[in-house]
Amino acid sequence: MNMNLQELEENENSNYKIISISNDFNILNSLSKFLEDIGYSFTSITNSKDIIDKIKNEDFDLMILDFTMIPLHINNIINEIRNLNRNLYILLLIDNQNLESTLDIIKTLDIQGFCEKSSNLNQLLLLIESGINSIKQKKEIEKVNNKLSNMYDKLEQAYLESIQTLRYTVEAKDTYTIGHSNRVSAYSVLIGNYLGLPEKDLKNLDIGGLFHDIGKIGIPDTILRKEIKLTDYEYSEVKNHPSIGAHILSNATVFKEIIPIVKYHHEKYDGTGYPNHLKGTDIPYLARIISIADAFDAMTSKRKYRDSLPINTVLNELESSKGTQFDPTITDTFLDILKNHYNEIEKIQNEFS
């Protein structure tokens, strides 16, 4: 007997195990009803003392953790969980009454997203759906990696095919990504060539540039496609995409070299970037190159809320951000390209317009 679409989805969802830790019974009951109705395996616990034992004895894909239960021990709890299950996708529920101070705390946590507690679960359910999509992509990558662990001759082709598949997934969510990643990749390779980098680094810049925004798979469409300025809360959600991207790629040997690019391309030279506030040469070198290429394309691309910036404005912005947002040496090299070899920039823009 053939299954209908709903039955197929429920059957697929049964492969994913979700756990929620909260003492808010209204949220737990609502989550349980919704998630179990669409086929997910759902477990809830109400005592924070049971968290570690539960993670130690059972394998879960996604966790919803109520920050208000363990505000003083959140760092230790997250670290213990990561020691037991480094692949677990963690969403944090936070109290909107102390939102600002809570955001400062969770910036340093190894989590993939957060959501304000509310009787309306729409935002949380969107994040769960996005999280499951991220987990699916991660598992697909792991399958490719495992299949090819002893088949080195086929590794390269599978690597490229995996990249293309995942890129198309991101582009389907965020139309701005179409063309943007190609241009960031090409600008980065151009900078790398002028810096005299070896072929291996140029290749990692090429792939890392194409793939730097893969973590947007885990950001709800309502935020990615919003046509007006994001709220502080929504922008904080977007800032999770580097960590989500690194999490997706973390188990695949073929992506090992580009994970630092994906995770750290929004760090700033003065230490004010995200997700880890790395400073200066602590930021991986290739990530510093991708960072300036990414910013240049953002400034020279037309967005929903503004037109592209004039090149003189861009040059001034890059010059003023040298040593604060960007590596000074890399910035000088890129400024030289923009001032004296702009035809190479235009060639890239024409190819990926």
Regarding whether 142 and 269 lie in a shared domain, the answer is yes
How much is the pLDDT for 290?
A: 98
How much is the pLDDT for 3?
A: 44
Catalytic site positions: 216
Q: Tell me the mean pLDDT in the region 201-213.
A: 92
pLDDT band, very low/low/confident/very high, at 138 (cuts 50, 70, 90): confident
DSSP symbols for 40-97: -EEEEE--GGGHHHHHHHS--SEEEEEGGGSTTTHHHHHHHHHHH-TT-EEEEEE-GG
CATH number, domain with residue 65: 3.40.50.2300
pLDDT (tens digit per residue) in 78-112: 999 999 999 999 999 988 776 777 777 887 888 99
- Residue 128 belongs to some domain of the structure: no
Regarding whether 199 and 114 lie in a shared domain, the answer is no
pLDDT band, very low/low/confident/very high, at 122 (cuts 50, 70, 90): confident
Q: How many domains does the chain have?
A: 2
pLDDT band, very low/low/confident/very high, at 121 (cuts 50, 70, 90): confident
Answer yes or no: is pLDDT of 243 > 50. yes
State which amino acid sits at residue 330. I
CATH number, domain with residue 307: 1.10.3210.10
SS3 255: helix
- Residue 127 belongs to some domain of the structure: no
Regarding whether 167 and 111 lie in a shared domain, the answer is no
Which residues span the domain enclosing 314?
A: 138-351
pLDDT (tens digit per residue) in 284-329: 999 999 999 999 999 998 766 567 889 999 999 999 999 999 999 9
**Percentage of the chain modeled with pLDDT above 70:** 86
Distance CA 163, CA 294 (A): 19
Cα of 35 vs its chain's centroid, Å: 24
Answer yes or no: is pLDDT of 4 > 80. no
Higher pLDDT, 157 or 322: 322
Q: What is the pTM of this model?
A: 0.68
Regarding whether 60 and 148 lie in a shared domain, the answer is no
Regarding whether 209 and 76 lie in a shared domain, the answer is no
How much is the pLDDT for 20?
A: 94
What the block records as the tokens of 311 is: 């090149």
Residue with tokens 């592209």: 308
Average of per-residue pLDDT values in the chain: 86
